[in-house]
Amino acid sequence: MKRRPFGAGGPEVAVIGQGTWNFPSAGKGVDAAIAALRAGIELGMTHVDTAEMYGNGRAEELIGRAIAGLPRDRLFVVSKVLPANGTFPGVLRACERSLRRLGTEYLDCYLLHWRGAHALDETLSAFERLVDDG
């Protein structure tokens, strides 16, 4: 799998990632989706994209199952905060919930899913705090 630096001097990231927007949240498809995600990772598609809104957090839980036991430093995990949670404390709480669901101590990239009604400087201040806190 081809890899390229993420940003200026950032880590090497697989150029093809795996999105989880339509990840099944229940039923027979869950095990197959987890297996497919895990197979993709084993083939080098280590960039995994999700969001707190996908399945109301269920996608993050299932991704957590899929990545459990894998070397975390070999993955590039991206999640997104909903605009409704775009306040300073809202971003911090949403990130903690995402981390808990994913079963990881950090995200490699955390995004605002789309622009919302909250002041962007407040959202960005929360992102800066998350970076400072590791």
Q: Is the dihedral of CA 102, 105, 107, 108 positive or negative?
A: negative
Q: Which is the catalytic residue, given 18, 23, 37, 54? A: 54
User: Distance between CA 40 and CA 60 in Å, rounded?
Assistant: 17
User: Distance between CA 67 and CA 86 in Å, rounded?
Assistant: 27
Known active-site residue 54: yes
User: Distance between CA 12 and CA 7 in Å, rounded?
Assistant: 9
Q: Which tokens belong to 44?
A: 């080098």
Asked if 65 contacts 34 with a C-beta cutoff of 8 angstroms, the reply is yes
DSSP H helical segments within 44-119, as ranges?
58-67, 88-102
By annotation, the residues acting in catalysis are 54
